[in-house]
Amino acid sequence: MNQQQFRIREVQPSILYFGTPVVLLSTLNEDETTNLTPMSSAWALGQRIVLGLGAGGKALMNLQRWEECVINLPDPSLWQHVERLAPLTGCDPVPVAKQGQYKHEKDKFSAAGLSPLPSMTVKPQRIAECPLQIEARVLHIQMASEDASFAIIETGALKVHAYEPIVLGDRHIDPSAWSPLIYNFRHYFGLGGELGKTFRSET
Ligand SMILES: Cc1cc2nc3c(=O)[nH]c(=O)nc-3n(C[C@H](O)[C@H](O)[C@H](O)COP(=O)(O)O)c2cc1C
């Protein structure tokens, strides 16, 4: 697709999820069990990972109380497990805005058919089926938007776990072996083939 072939028009999409990796976020419940939240508003800069979370969800509530999480990254083969979590919330009762569409679920691991693994530096558990698992601590939470309906959470990576086949040497994840699950305007996609690399790539 290029600009010469198509006219460009103005559009007001009702959603703006333009394609970001899916994260399954582990946070700690009041009773020290782990809640899992599918999310896709996440990005990394250096050792910081910034998360965007809705104010009505259990994940934000948990992070405000216990400032640790695991950022688990599923690959495309796990999309149906992710989708099993999609209509669930760890909140009990279900918030008014979610009533009718969402159900409360305490045991998200069983609901999704995923397995817990203990973490090394934080209390929330990791997800064994996710090839990348990043233990992190909360550095800053900022309520955002006029009505404080979502929050921007800055986290710092503490420890990264990766499946052996996606690790290159000691310090790199192999981009030709690792592939994120992409959330693209509310549809799930994998990555296509490699196109090239940036001038700073070390692999
Ligand atoms: C693929 C996917 C991506 C999502 N991305 C986000 C997100 O970035 N932030 C967010 O707050 N909710 C996101 N959601 C919605 C939450 O998963 C949903 O509100 C869920 O009920 C929250 O669970 P919790 O209340 O147990 O934390 C996403 C859902 C799916 C399925």
pLDDT at 29: 98
Each residue's pLDDT tens digit in the chain (203 positions)?
776 788 999 999 999 999 999 999 999 999 999 999 999 999 999 999 999 999 999 999 999 999 999 999 999 999 999 999 999 999 999 999 999 999 999 999 999 999 999 999 999 999 999 999 999 999 999 999 788 899 999 999 999 999 999 999 989 999 999 999 999 999 999 999 888 998 899 99
Per the structure block, which two tokens stand in for 125? 């558990």
Q: Which CATH class is domain 18-189?
A: mainly beta
Mutate to test the pocket of ligand 1, among 16, 17, 37, 79 (most ligand atoms within 8 A of CB): 37
Instruction: Give the span between the Cα atoms of 23 and 51, in whole angstroms.
Output: 10
The minimum-distance atom of ligand 1 relative to the CA of 57 is: 25
The minimum-distance atom of ligand 1 relative to the CA of 38 is: 17
Helix (H, G, I), strand (E, B) or coil at 187: strand
Instruction: Give the span between the Cα atoms of 95 and 168, in whole angstroms.
Output: 44
Tell how far the Cα of 47 is from the centroid of ligand 1, in angstroms: 23
pLDDT at 14: 93
pLDDT at 199: 87
Ligand 1 neighbourhood includes 27 CB (under 6 angstroms): no
Per the structure block, which two tokens stand in for 120? 């090394």
